[in-house]
Structure 1
Amino acid sequence: MTRLWLVERSYDDRNLISFTYATVDGTQQLRKELSMTLLRRRSRPITAAIEADEEELSAVDETDREQFATEAQKMASEHDPDDEI
């Protein structure tokens, strides 16, 4: 299992919220999309960090690596993994 930290949250016009979690070195990511309705009904909160299997992860584009690493390191230093975000 690999720990990933929330580095990006975005909304679209279809009422979907995308969450991007990345490793502290910014090289691996996991994206999740949830509808507002599902998010409200969800029993587990969105947290500062998650654990994921290696096979669930994808590579971060080189142009985003530094930003994702910076954001992941900031989240890791300011939050406990299970802090609600």
Structure 2
Amino acid sequence: MSDETRVWLVERTYSDDEQNLIILTYATPDGRQDFRKERALTSFSGDHRETKVSLAVDPDNLGSVDDADTREQYSTEAARMAEEYDPDDTL
């Protein structure tokens, strides 16, 4: 049995601090924990990297989502992604 936790893509945002940096936020189905992954965007027109809709991550790498509205948003979006995609799908 795996000790990893399944998280689903719930948000993509651009960093305010750095140019060409996108932040992918994944969350547990209940929205109570999240995992953030940063990705640098390159200026090469041929650079097309797929984004995984779901990841299995070590529970020690999960953050806590303290805001109730954000938890609800993450839970709703995680449920939608889990219903619409298989865990190994990419966007």
Scaled by the length of structure 1, what TM-score is found? 0.87
* Greater C-alpha Rg: 2
Unaligned 5+ segments in structure 2 are none
Instruction: Name the SS for the 1:82 alignment partner.
Output: coil
Which segments of structure 1 move beyond 4 Å, counting only runs of 4 or more? none
Deviates more, 1:55-64 or 1:23-32: 55-64
Q: CA RMSD in A?
A: 1.6
**Match 2:32 to one of 20, 27, 34:** 27
Deviates more, 1:12-21 or 1:74-83: 12-21
2:72 maps to which residue?
66
Query: C-alpha distance in 2, partners of 1:80/1:47?
Result: 10
Unaligned 5+ segments in structure 1 are none
Scaled by the length of structure 2, what TM-score is found? 0.81
- The structure with the largest helix share of the pair is 1
Count of matched residue pairs: 81
1:17 maps to which residue?
22
